[in-house]
Amino acid sequence: MPHLLDRNLETHLPVLPAEVNQIKFMWSAGSRRYKYNFYRLKSHDQDLLNDPELSIKRKGRIPKTPSEFSLRLSCTGQVSGIASFSVGLEVQSKRRRLEDTPLKLRLRKECISFTEDPICSRKCSGKGSCNTIGQCVCFSGWEGDNCSTPACSPQCLNGGYCSSPGVCDCQAGFQGASCEVGICKDECLNKGECVQKDTCRCKSGFYGHRCEFSKCIVPCLNGGTCKGVNRCRCERGFSGDHCQIISEDTTINTGICNKQDCAKIRKCRKEHCTHINPSNRQERRSCRMLYCGELFACHTTSCHRSIRKKRHRKRKSKLKEKNF
């Protein structure tokens, strides 16, 4: 019983060879009473190995005198390979569960197809089959003379290691299915891309370890982005080296401004643009668009007093006509 409860039992047991079809155990409860429960008997490779079978009931009492029981392992015989299986055992007394239980074991067994030569299949590491001249023909995902080397396609990059079929173990600083993507400890800024370990590829117009510096000494205005030394890529409707010039057709306004809209526009102009010379119409227009552009959702000319008075007179005359 102490050997069965040894948590290092898995490490003591090698891969069970194809000739071994059962494992025998010896146990006894001595003067005490113990109940057992084999709660797990499972094959993890059903195409290679059937679920393990016990020579005793799955639940019951452990005999007081030394007794033997066995675990039968039957391969399907369809294909060859190394199958894994798990055994779960719970032992408890009347009051409590026995120390070091439940016992969980995960073991491996070699299975060989009924149509193959066991000696030749063992030569292929259980991951391939022999052809007519005794050479190994590897299964998918394996390669090498003995089919013992896992294959990764595409191959692992940046020093990555193919640990199992199609799985790359990446070096520190890399990630991705093929270790093709770098990991940057500090995030790349301004839409830069991490291409190698702690290495950013910057968009045109930016530079630095994290693409944190702009090549435009004067910042781009009106939503523009830097594309070179003091050169900006402007949004539609703006131009100039720094997108400071507003095209005549940028204000696509619809509808007439109401009283509240006009008040907001006047307040915004007063706060931000009164310092500009009134004769410099282009600069004043740029200032208004920069700070108050989001308010121009209506015809700002409708805020002019004379136009508002004209509209008022029209409404007044229409009311008079209705009254007559």
Which strands sit side by side in the sheet containing 22-27, from one edge to the other? 22-27, 67-72, 53-54
118-149 carries CATH number 2.10.25.10:
yes
- Comparing 16-20, 31-35, 152-156, 272-276, the range with the smallest average pLDDT is 272-276
In the numeric block, the tokens 């009347």 are attached to 94
H-helix or E-strand containing 41?
strand 35-43
pLDDT at 42: 92
Average pLDDT estimate for 165-194: 84
pLDDT at 307: 59
Task: Provide the 10 A C-beta neighbour count for residue 74.
Answer: 15
**Topology, domain 9-111:** Immunoglobulin-like (2.60.40)
CATH 2.10.25.10 spans which residues of the chain? 118-149
pTM assigned to the model: 0.36
Average pLDDT estimate for 249-269: 69
**pLDDT tens, residue by residue, 47-82:** 889 999 999 999 999 998 999 999 999 888 777 788
Going by C-alpha positions, the residue among 273, 264, 271 that lies closest to residue 295 is 264
CATH 2.60.40.2170 spans which residues of the chain? 9-111
Average pLDDT estimate for 17-32: 86
CA atoms within 13 A on the CB side of 229: 0
Average pLDDT estimate for 24-32: 88
